[in-house]
Amino acid sequence: MKKKSFFDKYMVSLAVIICFFVVSAGVVFGTHKLLEYAALQKVVKEKERIEEIICGNSLLLLKQHELFAENGEKAIKAAKEKEEQEKKKDKEKDKEKKDGDKKKEDNKEKDKDNE
Amino acid sequence: MSDHKFFTKKILTENPVLVMAAGICPAVAVTESADSGLLLGCGTLLVLLLSLLPATLMKNIITEKAACACHVIIIAAFTAVIQMLFSSWFPQVTEEVGIFIPLIAVNCIVIESVNGFARKNPVLPAFLNGLGTGTGFLLVLLLMGGIRELVGEGTLFGSPLFAGDITLLPFAVLLPGGFFLLSLLAALNKHINIKIRQKEKNTINNDREEEKISS
């Protein structure tokens, strides 16, 4: 009877072991990739969340800036109006002063004439 | 033997740690806190159950010569999977447990259940036996971790139980404390087992006497 070679003796067992090894390696690799994907998704979501917060903050800043600009314009207008009013008041005062001086001079002249 | 007894006997009468003295190394080294004990126990239970499924379902495919190697490959693969999952879900506790998570692959409790019992028994008893073994191991780790943390640091699962920094026995957290507690638990378990056996004997004797009287 012919003696069985090492390969014939252990072929099936080796094939089974190799199959299990490959499947197990696949399971481990698959889990690793899955976890990697989950971690990546988590990072992406976190990034999106941060970006949303930054966008929201930027919009708020922009609105605040617009409000400041509007308020500034209003303040400038108000200041100009106030300045004009003050000028008007000053002019009126000058006029009144001039009229008062004229009256005084007229009175003086009248007094002189009377004398 | 009814199927559920495969599960129950592994928790008390044939507990892997307290009766069979298997897996003592992780039981003493890891149980400094309840959460690390719980994590290692859950890891071992999961690896055991996951490995039992292919080992029992593909019993006919796996040849006698290739069985040991195939089972070791299956256990190692699931250990790697569990380690990856744990380190992404509970990174801090996994770091605390350290090398003992990968060492589940060579835990004699797991290898004996998968390569020993599951190879010679049908699917359901093998699964129940694995479930019982894993649960027994988990319970012992949880109990030891809880007691050591409570006595040694005055906390349970990281949260303090007593007002102020009260530690009853700091020795409990050290390795000798672990061995001391393990021996106490083993003694308690033996005492309970003796009581259970006595009860069983008494019931058997009572049944026999009743049979004699009736006959």
| Residues in chain A closer than 8 A to B77 (CB atoms) | 24-25, 27-28
pLDDT digits (tens, 9 = 90+) for B34-86: 999 999 999 999 999 999 988 888 888 887 788 888 899 999 999 999 999 99
B169, burial (CB in 10 Å: exposed 0-12, middle 13-18, buried 19+):
middle
Amino acid found at A114: N
Tally the residues of chain A. 115
Structure ipTM: 0.73
DSSP at B61: T
A54-63, B8-17, B177-186, range with the lowest pLDDT:
B8-17
Sequence-distant (≥ 6) Cβ neighbours of residue B107 within 8 angstroms: B23, B26, B44
Helix (H, G, I), strand (E, B) or coil at B44: helix
- Please, what's the largest Cα pairwise distance for chain B? 69
* CA dist list (Å): B76 to A77, B66, B89: 80, 15, 20
Sequence-distant (≥ 6) Cβ neighbours of residue B126 within 8 angstroms: B52, B55, B56, B113, B117, B118
CA distance B145 to B110: 21
Helix or strand run (H / E) with residue B159: strand B159-160
pLDDT band at A1 (very low <50, low <70, confident <90, very high): low
Structural domain count of chain B: 1
| Residues in chain B closer than 8 A to A8 (CB atoms) | none
pLDDT digits (tens, 9 = 90+) for B79-114: 999 999 999 999 999 998 889 999 999 988 999 888
Of B62, B77, B88, the CB nearest to A28: B77
- Confidence at residue A2, expressed as pLDDT on a 0 to 100 scale: 66
Q: How far is B129 from chain A (nearest CA, A)?
A: 24
Of A10, A16, A28, the CB nearest to B81: A28
Amino acid found at A82: K
Q: How far is CA A75 from the centre of its chain?
A: 25
Q: Which domain holds residue B141?
A: 3-159+167-214
Nearest CA in chain B to A14: B66
Nearest CA in chain B to A9: B65
Helices (H), A1-115: 6-114
pLDDT digits (tens, 9 = 90+) for A42-86: 999 999 999 999 999 999 999 999 999 999 999 999 999 999 999
- Confidence at residue B118, expressed as pLDDT on a 0 to 100 scale: 84
CA distance B34 to B41: 10
Sign (positive/negative) of CA torsion A39, A40, A43, A45?
negative
Q: How far is A47 from chain B (nearest CA, A)?
A: 19
